[in-house]
Structure 1
Amino acid sequence: MKQSEVKEKSVAELQEELIKAQRSYTDLKMAHAISPLENPIQLRGQRKTVARIATELTKRELQ
């Protein structure tokens, strides 16, 4: 998810997306621990998505 897509969403939508992204990241980590992923770069991308969403939520809370 790109930053421009994150900025367009409401706070409720972002909270839902954050939960989904965190769950997806956890699932990828577990799958990678059991047997190596075909594309381990997915982990990095998912981690950055979680960070983008969390950063936007924090920014909106501070405003």
Structure 2
Amino acid sequence: MKQSEVKGYSAAELSDKLAESQKVYADLTRTHIVSPLDNPSQIKDLRRTIARLKTAINNQ
């Protein structure tokens, strides 16, 4: 998710997206511990998305 996409969301939508992204991130990291992911860069992308969402929430 890019910063331009994040700017279009309201505060409630940002909170929902943040909770959803954090859940997916936790699931991916647990899965990666047990067996390696095919695309481990997904973890990095999700971390960055979570940071973008948190930044957008703090700026509102």
Same-fold status (TM-score > 0.5): yes
| 1:25 matched to 2:15 | no
Give 1 or 2: higher helix fraction.
1
Identity %: 47
Higher relative contact order (CA 8 A, sep 6+): 2
Distance 1:24 1:58 in 2: 22
- Equivalent residue runs for 1:40-51 within 5 Å: 40-51=40-51
TM-score with structure 1 setting the length: 0.93
Q: How far did 1:59 drift?
A: 1.0
Please list every run of at least 4 consecutive aligned residues from structure 1 whose deviation after the TM superposition is greater than 2 angstroms: none
Q: How does 1:1-63 map to 2 (within 5 A)?
A: 1-60=1-60
Unpaired stretches in structure 2, ≥5 consecutive residues:
none
Aligned residues: 60
Root-mean-square deviation (Å): 0.5
